[in-house]
Amino acid sequence: MWISIKLAAKNLLLHKLRSILTLLGVILGVGSVIAMLAIGEGSKARAVEEIRRLGATNVIIRSVKPGQKTGQDAETTPGQQKVSRVVEYGLKYADFDGLQATLPTLSKALAVSLFRKDATRGRCRMTNARIHGVTPDYQHLRKTQLYRGRFISAPDIDHSANVAVLGATAAQKLFKFQDPLGKSVLIGPTAFQVVGVLKQQTDAQACSALYIPLSSARWRFGELQVVRTAGSLDFERTQLNEIILTVADTELVAPTAEMARKLLAKRHPRHDDYELQVPLELLRRAEQEKRIWNMVLGSIAGISLLVGGIGIMNIMLASVTERTREIGIRRALGAKRRDITIQFLVETVVLSATGGVLGIVLGIAIPLGVRNCSEIEAVITPGPVVLAFLISCSIGVAFGLYPARRAALMNPIDAMRQR
């Protein structure tokens, strides 16, 4: 076999340009398979990770501002400021208490209020910063990690303490290079002591947010918010922006979500001021779409491999025609049909394997270049690399079998007459 491999390499090097052009088809085919699957995997991985971060055992309910028909709230004349009525919508504390008391499948429940206020520290200012009113369970359910200090505690909730935890970006904007722990930050007109700083996260909104006790948010800032837009002032009253229900097992997610829908439907007859999300369903759907997307990308890239295989068959048929006299002499000296078949198959395998190795290098280099030169994420996994290499070798065997058998079936006497 080693002699056959050396002989195959020698024969291929006799026609360097033709062999290189044939190799290009395999190289581009293998490289495109790996690169396209890596980029496709990366584009979906971030979305799947965001859904997974929400928790597979969670049911998330969010307040949604219902659509308002133009002209119903207030009339505006040119040059005149519009002041609309107070719009009350969304989840309420009564909804949260009712869900906790009614659903037997819950292991934990979390309520979150969200509002916007200016956050100030000396000359540093964050306009319309995202302020989250949370409870201690928020850190576990949202999988946030502390960089320094502590998170909101139960005593903070009981005493409506003026304490705050800063996201990584918020801490950098408000305190620059200073240590924020123990110092005060103004949220609106109220001073809050910083007790913790979170680690950097992939979610930019979470990094730029400030977290205070839910009870403090309720009693210090109330439920009425003023939303300023061009030429108008809108007043909105929302008690809770988000409720997270957690169950112990994924099998309980669907029944819990269905019961929550029925309970909220009774309290919100119009069904237009809240939405219910089940991350487990979103995760399964996203993973299914990712598999389909990978199959599509793999099929498209596989066409390049097929073209490379056709190129291998073409060069091997040409080689058989050129070496007809050589084949006749080998047969006359005692070579069997099996030996001729193996000789040409080894040549095709050497050709396709060499192209496969070089294609792997190209397929890994392209995603790395894309990731370094743009914000597109690319994830290289061993599966597509091994699969593309095996397919390239298999295509070499499949497309080289016909030329090899054609060479083996030649009549030695007729072959030796060829010049």
* Per-residue model confidence as pLDDT tens digits over 191-243: 999 999 999 887 788 889 999 999 999 888 877 776 665 556 677 788 898 99
The answer to whether 41 and 376 are in contact (CB under 8 A) is no
Helix ranges (DSSP H) in 209-278:
214-221, 253-267
Report pLDDT for 79.
46
Instruction: Classify strands 184-187 and 190-198 as parallel, antiparallel or unpaired.
Output: antiparallel
411 has a pLDDT exceeding 70: yes
The answer to whether 211 and 134 are in contact (CB under 8 A) is yes
Helix ranges (DSSP H) in 119-158:
137-141, 154-158
* Per-residue model confidence as pLDDT tens digits over 270-300: 777 888 888 877 777 766 777 777 677 667 7
Closest CA to 405 of 330, 332, 316: 316
Structure tokens at 98: 């009712």
Report pLDDT for 77.
44
The residue ranking higher by pLDDT, 368 or 411, is 368
Q: In whole numbers, what is the pLDDT of the chain averaged over residues? A: 81
Structure tokens at 251: 């099998």
* Per-residue model confidence as pLDDT tens digits over 119-136: 999 889 998 899 999 999
Structure tokens at 190: 């109220």
H or E element at residue 164: strand 163-166
* Per-residue model confidence as pLDDT tens digits over 20-40: 888 888 888 888 888 877 877
pLDDT band, residue 52 (cuts 50/70/90): low
What residue ranges in 12-57 does DSSP mark as E strands? none
The answer to whether 244 and 250 are in contact (CB under 8 A) is no
Please state, in angstroms and rounded to a whole number, the distance separating the CA atoms of residues 86 and 84: 7
Report pLDDT for 57.
80
Please state, in angstroms and rounded to a whole number, the distance separating the CA atoms of residues 100 and 260: 10
Q: What counts of helices (H) and strands (E) characterise the chain?
A: 14, 13
pLDDT band, residue 162 (cuts 50/70/90): very high
Please state, in angstroms and rounded to a whole number, the distance separating the CA atoms of residues 220 and 229: 24
pLDDT band, residue 250 (cuts 50/70/90): confident
Please state, in angstroms and rounded to a whole number, the distance separating the CA atoms of residues 266 and 260: 10
What residue ranges in 175-285 does DSSP mark as E strands? 184-187, 190-198, 210-213, 224-229, 232-237, 242-247, 274-277
19 has a pLDDT exceeding 70: yes
Report pLDDT for 164.
95
170 has a pLDDT exceeding 80: yes
Query: Can you tell me the mean pLDDT for 78-93?
Result: 66
Query: Can you tell me the mean pLDDT for 3-19?
Result: 75
69 has a pLDDT exceeding 50: no
* Per-residue model confidence as pLDDT tens digits over 293-314: 767 766 776 777 777 778 888 8
Query: Can you tell me the mean pLDDT for 244-254?
Result: 84
81 has a pLDDT exceeding 50: no
262 has a pLDDT exceeding 80: yes
Structure tokens at 276: 């219910």
The residue ranking higher by pLDDT, 302 or 91, is 91
Closest CA to 28 of 331, 410, 216, 306: 306
Question: Percent of the chain at pLDDT above 90?
Answer: 18
The answer to whether 131 and 116 are in contact (CB under 8 A) is yes
Task: Tell me how far CA of residue 346 lies from CA of 164, 226, 404, in angstroms.
Answer: 70, 77, 10
| pTM summary value | 0.59
Question: Percent of the chain at pLDDT above 70?
Answer: 85
Structure tokens at 79: 């040059």
Report pLDDT for 371.
79
Please state, in angstroms and rounded to a whole number, the distance separating the CA atoms of residues 367 and 373: 10
Please state, in angstroms and rounded to a whole number, the distance separating the CA atoms of residues 209 and 169: 8
pLDDT band, residue 74 (cuts 50/70/90): very low
Please state, in angstroms and rounded to a whole number, the distance separating the CA atoms of residues 278 and 291: 20
